[in-house]
A and B are shown apart, each in its own frame.
Chain A
């Protein structure tokens, strides 16, 4: 059965493609599709012609061949014989490392500065305003370079710690702060499973133990909650929780012989050997991203707290809530709704800005795949495409997390 609005068969005229709103959007889209296809074809044909003229081709086989260069800060096993692909993985892990570190410290710094900007102490308020304005209004590249320069120019050289009678002793006997980075003890296990040296398996086991502790602690908290609801008295769970977290750790370390690899000032005439070294480029990038983004987060936090109307605080106080309860039960949950979405996009910015690692020689993905590998293989198009793909995947994942969060935090309006 045809409805009245359907035009009779055969009455279609060509002019309707333009004038009838039902067809016009189809026409427009068809035109757009053709234009888009033409534009893409134009670009593609240029690319093909240029590559043909230069005798080049697009090929990703360079990823499998050996990279040939060394990287100083790697999270996984890597040497100059490893493939370019592995070098890229090292870069990806380094990017994620500095991004996660910077996200944590930037959040802490930002929350502090944001809360202090609302302090009733005039000097502190102004100081924090100064911090926010100064760091927000100067490019992050300049900050990265300045902090890297501060690190290299102001910190003592590594050689000050070396030798039988060094100019400086290790701080607390275990730490060394030098212009090459921070040296500190590295934990390792002397006994592996079934005898022998400790291995990665030990660390996996350790994580399993920690996860078990987490669930144990949660069970205790829940039972305490139930008891509180039933009787109104909350049992003190602090000691039990402490035991649940610490005891398994202690037992685990004893069984597998946890020990510490100390930085050794005597092994070498150039550097401290052993322990963990956190390189100066990583520290510079980490600090610079933290304080730069911290200034933005401070503004978000301030706006979030100010967005909760005074009436909410007053109403909560009228209900008889104590000030810390007002903060934790009324103000903060509402402020977080405002703070978290921009906070997550700041995390995204940190990840993207970590690509400036190239300015200080930190081996992130831009410096390995987009830097040395690109230089050495000359495969510019392939490297840049892969680089963009990586950042795109990261960004889209973070956006997906943000969407899930936004949906769950949406005001339930009925």
Chain B
């Protein structure tokens, strides 16, 4: 038998074949390309079309950027050097760099002050954005608003110090009474802070030195990208507490409070931001006492804060609604009152769910700060549309300036949205 067997098979291999690399068209870049770019005819067509679009984009912009000039002092000089060639005249960015970032009025010798404030901002935001950092860093965050105010606006240091004092006094009053009753502690704290500020208004004007350490800069001198950043940061941080209050109010069982909140939120969400800015620029001044004028920056901050608070309230309401009813019932069954239940059980969970939504609102709001250029504030877009394009030297440099503004906003907004996605993954503590 074995004989026949041996003869019926010509060759029997006794050793294993060494593993071969996969055929060229089943692995490596070729396979990848076949799978991802040329899987079917239609797909291949799409690839070619997409590649063509990309080629058009790159071939038209790259030489223009590459050949850009950086050192001339006016557009006509650029045109002279280029002799009709198509290339960018980036010298407008180098020449007006400070104006684009700080506006045209901020005193040049003080540019270091907003720059320091910007650096501080990163330190202040870090512990808020990344939970793993030591909690002690939050002290920087708490001190940042006062330091930044003093750096950017200057003036006597007593102003931010007393403002801070108001918060400290308010906190102590709150801490003293909160164990008895949350409402008492909260409103007592607020009242104490307001009284402190009111009194210190007189003290500061009495003790303010005539030559403060940092010279005062009026807020209408702020401008450029700094103004966008300041408006965005200020309004978002102010609107979060307001948004929480509005969201809780909207969920309230008390009809009056509920309806006031509903009307406020729906009204603000129903109108475009630009009409609210019109209110700030042409109407709001009539609603302040006749003997006072409140400057435009503050009026705009008030309106944008109201705007973003309404949107944030809706996001937080979504977070509150997403909590299972059991959480509320559990809090009730522990005998917690409303304030305790909200503070200890509901809000920590609801806010956690809402954070990505809040970040999205923040990105949208930051983009919307460009609208202030419509009401004669010189933010980045306002600087471009106004003083720079109107000047004799740079009349006609559109692409470079608009492109610069677009890139600047893209970097910041894309950065924040990447952070938001990271955060979403990070916060996903539920099991999947």
Residues of A within 8 A of B143 (CB): none
A–B Cβ pairs within 8 angstroms, 5 of them: A123-B37, A133-B417, A356-B274, A356-B371, A370-B275
Residues of B within 8 A of A381 (CB): 282-283, 286
Q: A64-72, A76-84, A390-398: which lies at the B interface?
A: A390-398
Main SS at interface, chain B: helix
Assess whether B398 is interfacial by the CB under 8 Å rule: yes
A139 touches B409 (CB 8 A): yes
Docked-complex contact B53 and A138, CB < 8 angstroms: no
Cβ proximity bits A371-410 to B, threshold 8 Å, 1 near / 0 not: 0001000001100100110011011100100000000000
Whether A391 contacts B272 in the complex (CB less than 8 A), given A123-B37, A139-B367, A142-B370, comes out as yes
Asked if B110 lies at the interface with its beta carbon under 8 angstroms from chain A, I say: no
Please determine whether A29 and B257 come into contact, CB atoms closer than 8 angstroms.
yes
A211 within 8 A of B: no
Task: Check A149/B270 contact, CB under 8 A, given A127-B50, A134-B410.
Answer: no
Known A-B contacts: A140-B367, A370-B275. Give 18 more (CB < 8 A): A46-B289, A121-B39, A121-B46, A122-B37, A137-B413, A139-B367, A139-B409, A141-B373, A142-B381, A145-B381, A153-B398, A352-B272, A355-B275, A384-B283, A388-B279, A391-B275, A392-B267, A395-B266
**Given contacts A29-B256, A355-B274, are A121 and B37 in contact (CB under 8 A)?**
yes
* Given A25-B254, A149-B398, CB of A124 within 8 Å of CB of B286: no
Query: Which residues in chain A, 1-60, are within 8 Å of chain B measured between CB atoms?
Result: 25, 28-29, 32-33, 36, 43, 46-47, 49-51, 53
Are B271 and A352 closer than 8 Å at their CB atoms?
Answer: yes
Measured CA separation A47–B287 after assembly (Å): 5
Q: Which of B51, B283, B405 contacts A123 (CB 8 A)?
A: B51
Do B37 and A28 touch (CB < 8 A)? Answer: no
- Tell me if B71 is interfacial: C-beta within 8 Å of chain A: no
A391–B279 touching, CB < 8 Å: no
Q: A: which residues have CB within 8 A of B?
A: 25, 28-29, 32-33, 36, 43, 46-47, 49-51, 53, 119-124, 127, 133-134, 136-142, 145-146, 149, 153, 352-353, 355-356, 358-359, 366, 370, 374, 380-381, 384, 387-388, 391-392, 394-396, 399
B385 at the interface (CB under 8 A from A): yes
Residues on B with C-beta less than 8 A from A120 are 35-36, 39, 43
User: In the assembled complex, which residues on chain A have CB atoms less than 8 Å from the CB atom of B271?
Assistant: 352, 388, 391-392, 395
* A residues less than 8 Å from B273 (CB atoms): 352
Q: Verify A388–B370 contact, CB threshold 8 A.
A: no
Q: Contacts A25-B253, A121-B39, A123-B51: A138 and B274 contacting too (C-beta < 8 A)?
A: no
Interface members, chain B 254-276 (any A CB < 8 Å):
254-257, 260, 266-267, 269-275
Q: Which residue of B lies closest to A345 (CB)?
A: B269
Q: Does B290 contact A (CB under 8 A)?
A: yes
The answer to whether A370 touches B278, judged by C-beta atoms less than 8 angstroms apart, is yes
Inter-subunit contact B253/A46 (CB<8 Å): no
Q: B374–A359 contact, CB under 8 A? A: yes
The residues of B that contact A149 with a CB separation of less than 8 Å are: 398-399, 402
Kindly state whether residue B47 has any CB partner on chain A within 8 Å. yes
Complex Cα distance, B409 from A123, in Å, reads 25
CA distance A120 to B46 in the complex (A): 11
Main secondary structure of the interface of A (DSSP, over half): helix
Asked if residues A49 and B405 are in contact (CB atoms below 8 Å), the reply is no
User: Once the chains bind, are A121 and B36 in contact (CB under 8 Å)?
Assistant: yes
Of the listed residues A43, A53, A358, A392, the one surrounded by the most CB atoms of chain B closer than 10 A to its CB is: A392
- Chain B residues near A359 (CB-CB < 8 A): 374
Asked if A138 and B283 make an inter-chain contact with CB atoms under 8 angstroms apart, the answer reads: no
| Set A25, A145, A388: member contacting B402, Cβ < 8 A | A145
- Residues of chain A lying within 8 A (CB to CB) of residue B54: 123, 127
Closest B-chain residue to A141, C-beta based? B370
Check B406–A142 contact: CB distance below 8 A. Answer: yes
Chain A hits for B285, CB < 8 A: 50
- Closest chain B residue, CB of each to CB of A130: B54
Which are the 3 A-B pairs with shortest beta-carbon distances?
A395-B270, A122-B36, A137-B413
Do A384 and B370 touch across chains, with their CB atoms under 8 A apart? no
Do the beta carbons of A46 and B290 come within 8 Å of each other? Answer: yes
Task: Report the separation of the CA atoms of residues A122 and B43 in the bound assembly, to the nearest whole angstrom.
Answer: 10
Residues in B whose Cβ lies below 8 Å from that of A119: 43, 46
Asked if B47 contacts A51 (CB within 8 A), the reply is: no
A392 contacts across to B, CB distance below 8 A: 267, 270-271
* Residues on A with beta carbons closer than 8 Å to the beta carbon of B424: none
Bound CA–CA A366/B274 (angstroms): 9
Q: Mark B151-164, 1 if CB is under 8 A from A, else 0.
A: 00000000000000
Decide if A366 touches B270 in the complex (CB within 8 Å): no
Q: How far is the CA of A358 from the CA of B402 in the complex (A)?
A: 18
Contact residues in B for A395 (Cβ distance below 8 Å): 266, 269-271
Hey, which chain A residues are within 8 Å of B266, CB to CB?
A: 395-396, 399
Q: State the CA gap A378–B57 with chains docked (Å).
A: 47
